[in-house]
Homo-oligomer: A and B are copies of this chain.
Amino acid sequence: MAEIRHALNVKREDDFATWYQEVISAADMAEDSGVRGCMVIKPWGYGIWERIQRLMDDRIKDTGHDNCYFPIFIPLANFEREAEHVEGFAKEMAVVTHHRLIAGEGGGLVPDPEAKLEEPLVVRPTSETIIGDAMARWVQSWRDLPLLTNQWANVVRWEMRTRMFLRTSEFLWQEGHTAHETAEDAKEHTLRMLEVYRACAEEDLAMPVIAGEKPENERFPGAVETWSIEAMMQDGKALQAGTSHYLGTNFAEASGIKYQDREGTEQHCHTTSWGVSTRLIGGVIMTHGDDDGLRVPPRIAPRQVVILPMLRGKDGDDALIDYCEELRAKIAAQFAMGEKIRVLLDTRPGKAAAKRWDYVRKGAPVIIEVGGRDMDNGVVSLLRRDKLWNAETGRVDYATPSRDEAAENMPALIEDIQKSMFNEAAERRDANITRGLTSMEAVSDFFASNGKYPGWVEVQWSKPSGAGLEAVEEQLKAHKLTMRNVPKGSEQADGTCIFTGEAAVERILVARAY
């Protein structure tokens, strides 16, 4: 086994947080904007987001939702209506107080005191209350239900400590909002959208997740039930990658969303909301990235195949470009996983080796290099990014199929990469969930002694609320742990609660988390 010289300066096993930042910069995905807590999403990062958007949007539309657009500004009064909701959000919102600037005394600009708003406006941190206003106008009768809406938008939560893609003051997301006749319908829809998130995470992002219900203390402010998908990052921490909330009639009562039921009686609707955000990109990085940069699953790769002719700035270049263009056209005419294959022939000036490493760091799933000798032999040199190295030689592991074979096998190769990336992550996830710990002491020992990246534990608990729940939180907090969710379909409890010693009622995942 030869030693491999990786493309990044920092390895995952040495310093995961620094590695994460280096991937973002090495793959040219995003950068700090200079505006507090806001990032600039660069073409490769935004291209991944466009792919996620497209696939998720199709899934959301397939479940009967229409997209709408609601105002970015929310009047203060809306927040005052739902007590828990305001408690949860009021502490971290951007507040607009003026609508004009004028020249200040020092020559700079200042808010014009004459243009102070009578009622300040909040930049939406989430849109339950403003969409609730619209729903109250739109719903009259049971015939108007279910009302299934979604919007793609930017939102702002004033975060003190930010990290690119994972926690930024401004982020991009979709937020679905629905109204239903009955609690049963609304709860069913909450789980339907959770399943959409699971499917998109696992099938599109190749990111295995555990879908389950959050404990009471982790609920969305104002929700009756909060469900999540949780993904295990390569450092063993959990990432909450999407949430789906059953809101009961709390928001309907606050906003006056009422309908006449089939018997003519006026009722409050049961509502749901659910969202995923650019945070998913952070999940992709920490699920699939390696010591050479990002690896993008083919379904969400802006370019699935990149062809790099080894140009020499000489006469032979034209023939080489023609040879590559024929390959490009053959690949581009084919479908993989139901979509046209996205292939780029990169003829910009520059050395092929430098470009190869650019695309390795960006994580393009398939990189094809073609030199003059390859052309003469009718072959190409092909790298699959998910299996980059030959461990024996310590070199990148080229295959050299004929050009026609490379083109013909591309759909199968792309599908194999997608599947293989999911399986690799799922195996790691499964290997790193520990079950059977029966006391808080055992849990604490486990996290203290099980290496740098200990993973998750599943424990049994009695699901206390109030002061009992707070005591559980405190116990976990001492070890920087949190409860993640109660996995859907997990085995019934059969033991005692590791926190209270009472009879356990369910099994819950405990982990360090982002």
Residue ranges of A at the interface with B (Cβ–Cβ < 8 Å): 31, 33-36, 38-43, 46-47, 49-50, 66-77, 79-80, 86, 90-102, 108-111, 120-123, 130, 133-134, 137, 143, 149, 153-154, 156, 158, 170, 172, 349
Whether B69 and A46, one on each chain, are in contact in the complex, defined by CB atoms closer than 8 angstroms, is yes
List of B residues within 8 angstroms of A73 by Cβ: 35-36, 38, 94, 170
Q: 7 closest Cβ contacts across the A-B interface? A: A43-B66, A38-B71, A41-B69, A99-B158, A95-B98, A90-B101, A35-B71
Known: A72-B154, A80-B108. Contact between A35 and B98, CB under 8 A?
A: no
Q: With A and B bound together, what is the CA distance between A41 and B130 in angstroms?
A: 13
A97/B100 contact (C-beta < 8 A), A68-B40, A172-B69 known: no
Which B residues are CB-close (under 8 A) to A66? 43, 46-47
Nearest chain B CB to A340 CB, angstrom units = 13
Partner of A99, one of B34, B43, B75, B94: B94
A56–B232 Cα distance when bound, in Å, is 38
Known contacts A33-B134, A35-B73, A38-B71; can you find 8 more A-B pairs with CB under 8 A? A33-B70, A33-B133, A35-B130, A36-B121, A46-B68, A80-B108, A90-B100, A100-B158
In contact, B96 and A123 (Cβ under 8 angstroms): yes
A93 lies within 8 A of B97 (CB): no
Q: Please give, as numbers and ranges, the residues of chain B lying within 8 Å of A149 by CB-CB distance.
A: 43
With a cutoff of 8 Å between Cβ atoms, the chain B residues found around residue A156 in the complex are 72
Q: List B contacts of A172 (CB < 8 A).
A: 69
Chain B residue nearest to A49 (CB atoms) is B69
Residues of chain B within 8 A (CB-CB) of A98 are 94-95, 97, 120
> What separation, in Å, do the CA atoms of A201 and B240 have in the docked complex?
43
Chain B residues near A46 (CB-CB < 8 A)? 66-69
CB-CB < 8 A to A49: which residues of B?
69
Is A111 a contact partner of B120 (Cβ separation < 8 A)? yes
**Looking at the complex, which one of B39, B137, B158 makes contact with A31 (CB distance below 8 Å)?**
B137
Q: For the complex formed by this chain, how many copies does it contain in all?
A: 2
Which of B35, B41, B70, B79 sits near A121, CB closer than 8 Å?
Answer: B35
Q: Please name the residue on chain B nearest to A118 by beta carbon.
A: B36
A278: nearest chain-B partner, CB-CB = B69
Q: Which of chain B's residues has its CB closest to A100's CB?
A: B91
> Across the interface, which residues of B come within 8 angstroms of A41, CB to CB?
68-69
List 29 A-B pairs, Cβ < 8 Å: A33-B71, A33-B133, A34-B133, A35-B73, A36-B121, A38-B72, A40-B70, A43-B67, A43-B68, A46-B66, A46-B69, A50-B67, A69-B172, A72-B123, A72-B156, A73-B94, A73-B170, A76-B101, A76-B108, A76-B109, A86-B101, A86-B109, A90-B100, A93-B99, A93-B100, A94-B96, A94-B99, A97-B97, A100-B158
Q: How far is the CA of A134 from the CA of B30 in the complex (A)?
A: 11
Nearest CB of B to A348, in Å: 9
A79 near B109 with CB under 8 A, answer: yes
**Minimum C-beta distance from A466 to chain B (A):** 24
Q: How far apart sit A41 and B33, CA to CA, in the bound complex (Å)? A: 30
Chain B residues within an 8 Å CB radius of A349: 143
B96 touches A92 (CB 8 A): no
Docked CA distance A110–B95 (Å): 9
Question: Of B42, B93, B170, which one neighbours A72 at CB under 8 angstroms?
Answer: B170
B97 touches A79 (CB 8 A): no
A35 contacts across to B, CB distance below 8 A: 71, 73-75, 121, 130
Residues of the B chain whose Cβ atoms lie less than 8 Å from the Cβ of A100 = 90-93, 95, 158
> How near does chain B come to A422, taking the closest CB pair, in angstroms?
27
Bound-state CA distance A192–B42 (Å) is 23
Whether A80 and B109, one on each chain, are in contact in the complex, defined by CB atoms closer than 8 angstroms, is yes
Most B-side CB within 10 Å, residue of A67, A71, A109 = A71
Most buried by B among A74, A97, A102, A153: A97
Q: Give Cα A177 to B96, complex, Å.
A: 27
**C-alpha spacing A38/B40, complex, angstroms:** 26
A102–B79 Cα distance when bound, in Å, is 12
- Docked complex Cα distance between A90 and B111 (Å): 10
Q: For the complex, what is the distance from the CA of A222 to the CA of B74, rounded to whole Å? A: 32
A154 to B151 Cα, complex, angstroms: 13
Cβ contact of A71, chosen from B40, B120, B134, cutoff 8 A:
B40
Residue among A34, A109, A143, A154 with most chain B CB within 10 A:
A109
> Which of B38, B80, B111 touches A97 (beta carbons < 8 Å)?
B111
Q: In the complex the two chains form, what is the Cα distance from A12 to B80 in whole Å?
A: 43
Cβ contacts under 8 Å, A143 to chain B: 349
In the complex, residue of chain B having the shortest beta-carbon distance to the beta carbon of A122: B101
From A97, A99, A102, name the one whose CB has the most chain B CB atoms within 10 angstroms: A99
CB distance from A115 to the nearest CB of B (A): 8
